[in-house]
Structure 1
């Protein structure tokens, strides 16, 4: 969105405490100038729990592993191009999300687009290719009237929140708090590799290259995505899998002390929580499997669980061996609630839609074809900035 469009948009005061209260304003991501993925340490670690292709025998698998085929072949390095027809179709689907939300009375804001000439981000310690601000949920946590830009986990997304600056600036001018977590130096030594080296979530672990030394090494640093946080009024449930996440959670606890309660869950997934469990309304959770309950904080274990049928492989496009698949078949659990009664769901998921309708939700089907290639669903692609509701206590 251009600056004059932001200036002309009517914006309410920033206010968002949960993922289900009636949605008034939202940011929808951009796919402009998406050209490739770059394989390097931070990318490989983020998608560590990936497997090659589908595997229906292990429901806890989170993302497909990056190695294309064959366990004896080391993972490739460098740039993996994305076919532009997929980018064009993604842009069409994003426009459909915008139209659906606008029809429901939601004001939609967009980030600045990535200029095609901006191909690299560089710091004193490293350089990486740049991706557009598509999964805008990942690096920004909205807690009440505060914008928190979280400490990034992938080098190519290090400055991603800069594309949202015009939107954030307008909310700040209207009274919002605006905080940026410490930015990691993000050398190889910054990453906790223990999970990647010992995890058996996805079967035998994929090799992770030994970290290379740097003159900027400071040891393990805080790195955590906002998408690791489940917002429940005055309570935040944070998924912690690595020492990087734990440091980030420490920061959140100290920064939000007295305003929000933090509840840690250990290794619910490798990183993001929002395709494992989503709160659709007070007392109701959408979860990948019933076993999720055992890892939740005690007060949440009494909530109703909606467990949809396993995803059908026929509901996904078929890709070439050269296409890098980033999301598991469970990605469509990543729905967006517009209110406690209305949910945006991928129109390719009839079983999920029927399941939600049986639980008295009104389902709004919206097209999203290439969610597995771009690693995000409707919840990932959106950042809700204004919802009705307040810091309610749902867990006491």
Structure 2
């Protein structure tokens, strides 16, 4: 596309963009989110359109029991059954309606047919779904960072969000993409197996190149917390540390989970001074020292839910009860079926808003996974000085 330069204006010939040279001086970014609890004003919510079972790959299989990985391998690349889509879609629509009733602006990605094949010179794959924007994009202040994810089937996932990202950029947001990973065999341990209880922890990822999912990070102003996992390696953590610079600190949370993937069922920031932890995955005596003055709230044992189909299809563990979304420092959206979590939140002084999203689990998560905070009403602060 050709451009024409006029005094003070850069104009696209086809008229799709008209951005003043000094636009950044006058724009107020629509993106502004520094933590997990400031009042939520705008959010991106994922969609189920075109969802397909993820293509078979060791980095996908490694977080599942062997029998589940075999079943997934048979279904890889096919669309999810209608029975799964319809139940999840109904709950997702209700969740979006709830957010809008709370005065929150909701943006959605473009639909994509994830059965289409794509690749690089080294590999080919089909896609997965657009259900979890929390994985592929990380918001730090007024900046959106596209993350270098380790699953080949998610390589182009952010493209369905590009119209939204371009809109935010034109309105003043910063937009960054981490280096696209090669995802060659050198990134993955060839003889990896899930470590048994009592064995030293290890991960399928090598340090061949930086990879990370945004959902392995949570934000508390100038401090971020991260779990190293089967989708986030040390190089990925170090890339983000250098990118953010000395104004931020990144603290690693040790996880005892044998198949770690994403921090939001392990360590959940609720409000200044309060953090929810998974007693199965976290040794509270080994938390970073900066948390010594915070209240460490122990998540209750998840409520047993007799959903046989869900047990077979879900890629998430029982601790999805922790996958909640803070609306502000008091109000929190939590799954209606997890009554133990709802009661615990009330006891700790929060105001839980029950909502159904149980059948979203086969597509990667619940309320926190299904959303990406775009704007929260607040400023950058340090909560640990």
Give your verdict on TM over 0.5.
Answer: yes
Using the TM superposition, give the Cα deviation of residue 204 of structure 1 relative to its aligned residue in structure 2, in angstroms.
12
- 1:90-239 equivalences in 2 (<5 Å): 90-115=88-113, 119-192=116-189, 196-197=192-193, 199-201=195-197, 220-239=208-227
What is the TM-score normalised by the length of structure 2? 0.83
When the two structures are aligned, how many residues end up with a matched partner?
352
Using the TM superposition, give the Cα deviation of residue 248 of structure 1 relative to its aligned residue in structure 2, in angstroms.
0.6
- 1:289 pairs, out of 279, 282, 289, with 279
- 1:36 pairs, out of 53, 63, 71, with 53
Distance 1:120 1:202 in 2: 40
Does the residue aligned with 2:37 lie in a helix, a strand or coil? coil
Structure with the bigger RCO (C-alpha within 8 Å, sep 6+) is 1
With over 3 angstroms needed to count, the CA separation of the structure-2 counterparts of 1:140 and 1:365, relative to structure 1, is: same
Distance 1:79 1:119 in 2: 15
Aligned residues of 1:14 and 1:144 also touching (Cα < 8 A): yes
Structure 1 runs, 4 residues or longer, greater than 6 Å off: 202-205
With over 3 angstroms needed to count, the CA separation of the structure-2 counterparts of 1:256 and 1:76, relative to structure 1, is: closer
Distance 1:89 1:203 in 2: 39
Does the residue aligned with 2:262 lie in a helix, a strand or coil? coil
Distance 2:106 2:232 in 1: 33
Unaligned 5+ residue runs, structure 2? 1-27
Unaligned 5+ residue runs, structure 1? 1-10, 51-64, 212-217
Distance 2:228 2:95 in 1: 31
Distance 2:157 2:58 in 1: 18
Distance 2:253 2:190 in 1: 19
Aligned residues of 1:192 and 1:220 also touching (Cα < 8 A): no
State which structure, 1 or 2, has the greater radius of gyration over its C-alpha atoms: 2
Match of 2:7 in 1: none
Distance 1:202 1:328 in 2: 20
With over 3 angstroms needed to count, the CA separation of the structure-2 counterparts of 1:229 and 1:121, relative to structure 1, is: same
Whether 1:85 and 2:83 are equivalent positions in the alignment is yes
Distance 1:79 1:247 in 2: 32
Does the residue aligned with 1:373 lie in a helix, a strand or coil? helix
With over 3 angstroms needed to count, the CA separation of the structure-2 counterparts of 1:334 and 1:259, relative to structure 1, is: same
Aligned residues of 1:235 and 1:393 also touching (Cα < 8 A): yes
Match of 2:24 in 1: none
| Backbone CA RMSD of aligned residues | 2.9
What is the TM-score normalised by the length of structure 1? 0.81
Aligned residues of 1:93 and 1:367 also touching (Cα < 8 A): yes
String of CA shifts for 1:20-39, please: whole Å, max 9, x gaps: 11000000000111232322
Using the TM superposition, give the Cα deviation of residue 124 of structure 1 relative to its aligned residue in structure 2, in angstroms.
1.5
Aligned residues of 1:294 and 1:301 also touching (Cα < 8 A): no
Match of 1:301 in 2: 292
